[in-house]
């Protein structure tokens, strides 16, 4: 979740993306212990259903090697591991405290965790059949660079599923969602998550995030030529499912599950 050099004018003066990356890491370290319960309360538990759908949108072989990026406390990592009982899932995050919480969970034995920056993954090209990311892409300031790095570590024809909060197209739904996301989430986050400042930042990170169509275009231009988007609850959240170019002579696009909420 660290970033390319980009200047932010927020705060007391300009900050490079490296400064921002350090600040975001510290923020996630602070909220790690209560992150899961805060997510459950803020979403009414629907975030768990969305993660299941993200995992289910990949047609994974039981022995697949899968990468979960910005894995946080490992909720999606564990879901993926249950779907590849003969395979392996690697969870990657840049917050050591998040990873500490992830390792404390009762986990399937086919999981390992590594502390790493998603823009500089410590894996050889073509290591994984599939990759996922949940509710984290908007914290990455170099979206294109992140996508290219994910595509690099996937095998030809490999798939990446990104689950992220969205910007509903319907005006009434968008207005209602924004009122909750920007007005209520910081209050709940402060009470349940224990850090109101962190839960003010997390909604604000959506402001400059691309809408669903623009993000799909970024996918297609940065390693995932076959990309589709599934809107969840009218676009309150979105699944972007991208596939890298297949090897010569192989089927160009894999089959995906198509159910949606």
The CATH number of whichever domain residue 76 belongs to comes to 3.40.50.150
Range of the domain at 192: 21-243
What would the pLDDT profile of 29-83 be if each residue is shown by its tens digit?
Answer: 888 888 889 889 999 999 999 999 999 999 999 999 999 999 999 999 999 999 9
The reply to whether 120 falls in a domain is yes
pLDDT of the residue at 254: 46
The pLDDT of residue 11 is above 70: no
The reply to whether 113 falls in a domain is yes
pTM metric for this prediction = 0.86
Of residues 210, 205, 69, the one with CA closest to residue 149: 69
Higher pLDDT, 250 or 58: 58
What would you report as the CA-atom Rg of the chain, rounded to the nearest whole angstrom?
Answer: 17
Task: Find the mean pLDDT for residues 122-133.
Answer: 98
The reply to whether 216 falls in a domain is yes
The tokens for 231 are 């809107």
How many angstroms separate the CA atoms of 241 and 219, rounded?
9
Number of domains the chain is built from? 1
The reply to whether 12 falls in a domain is no
The four Cα atoms 69, 257, 53, 247 give a dihedral, to 10 degrees, of: 0
How many angstroms separate the CA atoms of 203 and 196, rounded?
11
The reply to whether 255 falls in a domain is no
What is the chain's mean pLDDT, rounded? Answer: 87
Query: How are beta strands 65-69 and 88-93 bridged, if at all?
Result: parallel
The reply to whether 187 falls in a domain is yes
The reply to whether 145 falls in a domain is yes
Band of pLDDT at residue 193, cut at 50, 70 and 90: confident
Are the beta carbons of 239 and 54 closer than 8 angstroms? Answer: yes
pLDDT of the residue at 184: 92
The reply to whether 9 falls in a domain is no
Band of pLDDT at residue 246, cut at 50, 70 and 90: confident
pLDDT of the residue at 74: 96
The angle at the Cα of 47, spanning 43 to 48, to the nearest 5 degrees, equals: 130
What would the pLDDT profile of 154-185 be if each residue is shown by its tens digit?
Answer: 999 999 999 999 999 999 999 999 999 999 98
In the chain, alpha helices (H): 17-31, 35-43, 46-56, 75-83, 96-104, 143-153, 171-178, 185-188, 196-204, 212-221
Query: How are beta strands 237-243 and 226-232 bridged, if at all?
Result: antiparallel
Residue 157, classified by CB atoms within 10 Å of its CB into exposed (0-12), middle (13-18) or buried (19+), is middle
pLDDT of the residue at 107: 84
pLDDT of the residue at 251: 54
Residue 255, classified by CB atoms within 10 Å of its CB into exposed (0-12), middle (13-18) or buried (19+), is exposed
Are the beta carbons of 98 and 73 closer than 8 angstroms? Answer: yes
């Amino acid at each position: 979740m660290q970033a390319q050099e980009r200047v932010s004018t927020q705060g007391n003066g300009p900050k490079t993306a490296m400064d921002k990356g350090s600040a975001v890491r510290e923020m996630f370290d602070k909220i790690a212990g209560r992150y899961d319960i805060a997510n459950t309360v803020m979403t009414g538990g629907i975030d768990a259903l969305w993660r299941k759908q993200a995992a289910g949108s990949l047609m994974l072989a039981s022995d697949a090697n899968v990468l979960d990026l910005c894995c946080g406390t490992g909720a999606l990592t564990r879901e993926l591991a249950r779907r590849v009982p003969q395979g392996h899932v690697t969870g990657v995050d840049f917050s050591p405290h998040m990873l500490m919480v992830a390792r404390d969970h009762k986990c399937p034995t086919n999981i390992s965790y590594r502390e790493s920056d998603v823009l500089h993954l410590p894996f050889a090209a073509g290591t994984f059949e599939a990759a996922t990311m949940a509710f984290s892409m908007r914290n990455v300031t170099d979206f294109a660079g992140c996508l290219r790095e994910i595509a690099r570590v996937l095998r030809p024809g490999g798939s990446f599923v990104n689950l992220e909060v969205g910007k509903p197209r319907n005006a009434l739904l968008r207005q209602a969602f924004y009122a909750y996301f920007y007005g209520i989430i910081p209050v709940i986050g402060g009470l349940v998550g224990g850090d109101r400042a962190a839960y003010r930042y997390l909604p604000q990170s959506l402001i400059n995030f691309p809408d669903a169509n623009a993000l799909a275009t970024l996918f297609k231009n940065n390693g995932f030529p076959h990309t589709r988007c599934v809107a969840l609850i009218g676009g309150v959240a979105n699944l972007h499912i991208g596939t890298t170019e297949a090897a010569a002579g192989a089927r160009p696009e894999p089959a995906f599950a198509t159910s949606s909420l």
